[in-house]
Amino acid sequence: MIRRALILLLGLSLLSLSSPVAQAAPPGQRDVIVQLFEWNWRSVGQECGQVLGPKGYGAVQVSPPQEHVVLPGSGYPWWQDYQPVSYKLDNTRRGTRSEFIAMVNSCHAAGVKVYVDAVINHMTGGSSGGVGSAGSPYTHYDYPGTYQNQDFHHCGRNGNDDIVNYGDRYEVQNCELVDLADLATESDYVRGRIAAYLNDLLAIGVDGFRLDASKHMPAADIAAIKARLSRPAYLYQEVIHGAGEPITPEEYVGNGDVLEFRYGKDLAKIFNTERLAYLRTFASPLPSNRAVVFTDNHDTQRGSGVLTFRDHGRYALANAFMLAWTYGTPKVMSSYEYSSNDQGPPSTSSGQTVDTTCFSNRWRCEHAWRVIANMVGFHNAVRGTAVTRWWDNGNDAIAFGRGDQGYLVLNDESSALTGRSFHTDLPPGVYCDVFHGDYTPGHCTGPTYTVDPSGWFRADVPPRDGLALHTNAKLS
């Protein structure tokens, strides 16, 4: 929603124009999404070739690419990008249209799909107006050549048209979210303009969309826009569950997948205040094949109740579990350090996002931490298998297999887990522990474990640590 220097090898010791339909569940064997939050286009393209493709990520979610407001008086906050001025792709804080196209091509060459964070519920906030990042003039309800006053909702409530009561469906979907000019998505004209924007991106080669603020648009409106897409695209919608609220995530699954916000909070609760043993039946209310799950994202990490990069080793353990478990399509967060919730990414004095150099200049690059990056390979190896051989100590140490393709041990206890042998369905052989080492054919930079012909191996696991073995990292 709107406002709302680690080392690279972070170890846990440190801790077609056919009938357009949205595809549910990303196609292909690699489905892990990484959100490179606020990265510029040049850096995303490079990362696809250097890290994302080689490590097995299936797709990258990029920040909104359309022309946006520019707010130097507020220090160029990150959320200015979520206030569209036009649907031009020129001269945003992340680069030009040609650079965006080059990024898409680079990612595709690396086998990585590109999903765009699409802001289609609203335009800008405030009444003064100004000039957008590509030079387009605007006021709150006037965007020359795109929208005018009649293209917006004017709900006539609360004195300022803002949403106050989230228990009122009409208000949530017809009033303004924090003063942002709310598009009349029931309008045929508005639907056409939005579809034209999305089709421009599809023509470039974009593979799908995260639909921002979907809860504030009726599911039928999204369906009508989807029906105008020029070719199939993967859609996942931002619909935040609220206890007792009339608008629920479940009503949007007919359009595509849905971001499951309950997942990250529930996972953090177990890691922080409960027992890892409770993870044996871990899931959320949405059907697994419709849920996009995440430990945190750019909004939730600025709130409370979730694990973030500041939780170091425990955050890595939680992401390892998410990538090893059977529920949902995983989305990994990659963020930057911030001293205030509004602070934008590392930028020039004019607000242009600088090139990303991981683990310096505030870039945290969680997606490249060894544990998280290597567990993407684990996820790909075990995809489609069932959980087997569950073991726990009744508290904060757990282990489980994924069929005969992988095995994970997590120890969130304050003491080492020693004197144990673990029973797996893995074929016998020597395996690289991808928690602590990188695998290349025939070689592992970290410890290895030997699984005997009966499926057993012995391991001692330090506190707040773990290990992971899978068949795509087998030495012999």
Active-site positions read: 212, 238
436-473 CB burial, b ≥16 within 10 A, e <16: bbbbeeeebebebbebeeebebebebebbbbbbbbbbb
Dump the DSSP string for 374-413.
HHHHHHHHHTTPPEEEEEE-SSSEEEEEETTTEEEEEE-S
How many other β-carbons are positioned within 10 Å of the β-carbon of residue 37?
Answer: 19
CA-nearest of 299, 175, 170 to 245 is 170
CA-nearest of 392, 362, 264 to 319 is 264
Query: 402, 324 in Cβ contact below 8 A?
Result: yes
Measure the CA–CA gap between 459 and 468, rounded to whole angstroms. 11
Residue 220 is encoded by which pair of tokens?
Answer: 């039928």
Dump the DSSP string for 192-236.
HHHHHHHHHHHHHT--EEEETTGGGS-HHHHHHHHTT-SS--EEE
Task: Phi first, then psi: give them for residue 96, nearest 5 degrees.
Answer: -100, 170
